[in-house]
A and B are shown apart, each in its own frame.
Chain A
Amino acid sequence: MVEHDRGELNEISLQALTFGRGLAERLDVPLDAVVVGEAGRVLVGSLGPFGVSTVHLAAHERLDDYAPIAWGRSVAELVSSLGPEAVLAAGTDRGNEVMAHAAAMSSLPMAANVVAAEPGDPWLVTRVRWGGSLLEEARVHGAAKLLTVAPHVVRADETTPSQPEVVEFAPALTDGDLLVRVVDRVAAETGKVALPTARVVVGGGRGVGSAEGFVVLEELAELLGAAVGCSRVVTSLGWRPHTDQVGQTGTRIAPDLYIACGISGAIQHMVGAKAAKKILAINMDRDAPIMVQADYAVIGDLHAVLPAVVQELRKAGGA
């Protein structure tokens, strides 16, 4: 299932496609894609480089925006009409939601956030538990295997491009299937760098000390074009809104650099920053758990270190 929002591709889907292509090659079957909604037609061309042979386009006049149950119905219909070995989606909010609906409708098991899959009877999968701090090996029974692929486990890799054939189908949607749909949108604060897609994230933990203490993190973030994040304790104390929280129950980030300031490095926080390419820890405690998870470290009080870094950056920038 290729995820999109009114025609805009969710790139994590390409990781799921790459994962699916590996399985299709091993099983010697073609790799098909399902795109729900006419707005998704624009994506067909961009799926060719990922080895998709057929795109099944669920077209229905009432599928004009995201509707989780209707999307699940579209996938469930293909499960019964095509009898695929497996159906995959990205382990995102929408991916997990749509696949859960499809699984419930098809009376099939579903394994969320899979990192490896071994076809057989039954299939053997390895999946993420505890947000990534534990792995589970599990058998998946049932005719078709419904899996979501944990984000950032495989890289989206292109292959010999193909020209996918488009097969349109009209899912039999009931009023009940269309009851739940996006009826409105509220824009986020403008001008802020979005946490999930930021190239650089400056994060603060208990060590920041107060809500006001984040001013210096904001300052650094502005110079670097970065987003500001925080740990769970910071949102629990009311210093930052929950939308800034990085971790198992907050946002998963995947920046080039994560600057973790006054963050001890509890696993629930670090699983949210796992996809960061580099981590710089600024911490007074050289024995903090974050020190074995970071690439670079500065030992010291963040309220002394960060102003000095800000000053140095301004100097270097000629400002």
Chain B
Amino acid sequence: MNVLVCVKRVPVTGGRITLTPDEREIDTKFLGFTVSPHEECAVEEAVRIVEAGGGSSTVLTLGTPESEEQLRDALAIGIAEAILLETGGAEWDPGATAAAIAETVRDRGFDLLLFGNEAADTGDYQVAVRVAHLLGVPCVTGVKRLEVRDGAALALREAAGGWEVFELPLPAVVSVKEGINLPRYPSMPGRLRAKKKDIERLAPEPPAAELEMVRLRLPEAADKQVEVIGEGPDAAPRVVEMLREIGVVS
């Protein structure tokens, strides 16, 4: 089993987001970087599939040279190989990203290509699907349980009232959601091994954007005035009164 997993470097935004003066990026001066929770789970899933059934795993990203950090994070938990598609720093639209990924992996014989359901930052919901079409392989998105055996994948995703089950022959593209597993923490030997690994670097040509970002802006704050209705257990009668006022209890 030859598994590819694609990730994207994004800033860690816990609290307030601040934009750069040109309004085209988040100001990351004081921020660390990570990948989306969906992608952390995709990496973990790739490692588990190879642990269980043998084969090899590769992590790929398209991004700035600094994205090496996210590749090494994946290597540290057990991914074997890493590919960095280096960009100059300008954002690539989803169509261009998918084209560069498909071009790179086309002849490498991957049986399973894992993605996060959507990138944490751009939330485009389409790179995995576009890669599948460019490679001519089936694809299912939003998967939260995955079983791989005998050249096929059984993929489950949450739907109203339960789970939908899909079956797809390999090779295939699967995008996963957080919750499919609980990712492990890297071990110290894992980190040391990851540090020394070679990373394959390629520099695809940036194409013209079809979905072209103009600028970013922060949504207007809701400007809510919170009403403190009490402190401690003494607030209970007032809470119940409020529940009545808004019609939650009769």
Contacts and interface: CB of A to CB of B under 8 A. Distances in A.
B139 A69 contact: yes
A305 B242 CA distance: 15
B226 A281 contact: yes
Contact of A292 (B126, B224, B239, B240): B224
A140 B166 CA distance: 32
Contact of A183 (B123, B159, B166): B166
Find the residue from A100, A187, A278 having the highest chain B CB count within 10 A: A100
Interface in A98-137: 99-101, 103-105, 108-113, 122, 124, 128-137
A96 B236 contact: no
Interface string B2-18: 00000000000111010
Contacts of B177: 249
Interface string A186-198: 1110000010110
B178 interface: yes
A19 interface: no
A232 B247 contact: no
Contacts of A256: 246-248
Given A134-B26, A242-B144, A300 B235 contact: yes
A177 B215 CA distance: 37
Contact of B215 (A137, A196, A305): A137
B139 A257 contact: no
Interface stretch (A33-41, A79-87, A165-173, A307-315): A307-315
Interface in A161-187: 176, 179-187
A93 interface: yes
A236 interface: yes
A170 B14 CA distance: 49
B233 A194 contact: no
B204 interface: no
A180 B240 contact: no
A42 interface: no
A137 B236 CA distance: 45
Interface residues of A, number: 96
Given A295-B224, A297-B226, A248 B120 contact: yes
A134 B218 contact: yes
A265 to B, nearest CB: 10
Contact of B126 (A103, A124, A277): A103
A96 B226 contact: no
A232 B212 CA distance: 32
A68 B143 CA distance: 13
Nearest to A188: B162
B169 interface: yes
Contact of B120 (A130, A179, A307): A130
Contact of A112 (B126, B144, B228, B232): B126
A185 B124 contact: no
Find the residue from A180, A187, A224, A307 having the highest chain B CB count within 10 A: A180
Given A138-B214, A182-B165, A296-B226, A267 B235 contact: no
Interface string B95-127: 100100000000000000000001011111110
Contacts of B188: none
A129 B13 CA distance: 12
A245 interface: yes
A209 interface: no
Contacts of B142: 93, 97
A5 interface: yes
B237 interface: yes
B216 A242 contact: no
Contacts of B233: 300, 304-305, 307-308
Contact of B217 (A130, A131, A137): A137
A105 B139 contact: no
Given A142-B210, A194-B161, A294-B224, A96 B239 contact: no
Given A66-B164, A182-B165, A138 B140 contact: no
A200 interface: yes
B247 A129 contact: no
Contacts of B38: 249
Given A182-B166, A280-B239, A289 B15 contact: yes
Contacts of A111: 211
B205 to A, nearest CB: 18
A128 B218 CA distance: 10
Given A69-B138, A297-B228, A316-B240, 18 more contacts: A68-B141, A93-B141, A101-B129, A110-B126, A133-B219, A135-B218, A180-B139, A183-B165, A185-B165, A186-B162, A188-B161, A188-B162, A295-B224, A300-B232, A300-B233, A309-B240, A313-B240, A313-B243
Interface of B: 13-15, 17, 26, 36-38, 93-95, 98, 118, 120-126, 129-130, 132-134, 136, 138-142, 144, 156-169, 177-179, 182, 209-219, 221-222, 224, 226-237, 239-240, 242-243, 246-249
7 contacts: A112-B124, A134-B218, A176-B138, A185-B162, A299-B231, A300-B233, A308-B236
